[in-house]
């Protein structure tokens, strides 16, 4: 089985995706969501949006949503910006660990939770016209869905 990376703009996939937005920084969340939605719509995927207070809540919500079996994949969006305390490290590390644990359980998750030193970095990474990390997270989720479907058993025995 060979996989070739394709641009998401050319990817067409019938999938239903949940976008989970950590809304601690509304301006950044809106920009990340805009990028993700543009990619999902361009690929022909349907989606739902759900807001949570911050990045630490995102993995737990994905775990709950996965039990519903309503979604083919997930796009995790949010921003963690370094402050004056060690809280940044806890939120950045634990949200990433939670998402990775869920990915290792087989969920198709695009991680668009930014971890930045300052707001300038976060804005550049979120902005659709610049780094567009929301769009990149949606592309990752769609690609993982595609890979999962390609790896499903075909019923043939080797």
pLDDT in the model for residue 152: 87
* Range 6-33 burial, b when 16+ CB lie within 10 A, else e: eebeebebebebbbbbbbbbeebbebbb
pTM of the model: 0.91
Q: Could you tell me the sign of the dihedral formed by the alpha carbons of 98, 99, 100, 105, in that order?
A: positive
pLDDT in the model for residue 154: 75
pLDDT in the model for residue 8: 43
Is residue 16 annotated as part of the catalytic site, yes or no? no
Strand order in the sheet with 46-52: 46-52, 16-22, 73-81, 109-116
Name the token pair of 11: 């990817």
> What are the mean pLDDT values of the chain's consecutive 10-residue runs (158 residues total)?
49 95 97 98 98 98 98 98 94 98 98 97 97 98 96 69
Q: If you classify domain 13-148 with CATH, what class do you get? A: alpha beta
Q: Could you tell me the sign of the dihedral formed by the alpha carbons of 155, 16, 77, 10, in that order?
A: positive
pLDDT digits (tens, 9 = 90+) for 1-11: 444 454 544 78
Q: Where are the domains of the chain?
A: 13-148
**From 6, 12, 70, 87, active-site residue:** 87
């Amino acid at each position: 089985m060979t996989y070739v990376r394709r641009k998401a703009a050319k990817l067409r996939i019938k999938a239903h995706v949940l976008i989970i937005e950590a809304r601690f920084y509304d301006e950044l969340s809106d920009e990340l969501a805009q990028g993700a939605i543009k990619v999902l719509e361009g690929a022909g995927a349907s989606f739902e949006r759900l807001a949570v207070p911050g990045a630490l809540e995102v993995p737990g919500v994905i775990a709950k949503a996965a039990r519903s079996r309503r979604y083919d994949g997930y796009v995790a969006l949010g921003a963690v910006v370094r402050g004056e305390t060690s809280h940044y490290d806890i939120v950045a590390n634990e949200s990433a660990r939670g998402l990775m644990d869920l990915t290792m359980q087989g969920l198709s998750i695009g991680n668009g939770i930014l971890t930045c030193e300052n707001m300038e970095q976060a804005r550049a990474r979120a902005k659709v016209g610049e780094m567009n990390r929301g769009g990149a997270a949606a592309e990752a989720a769609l690609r993982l869905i595609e890979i999962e479907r390609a790896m499903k058993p075909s019923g043939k025995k080797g």
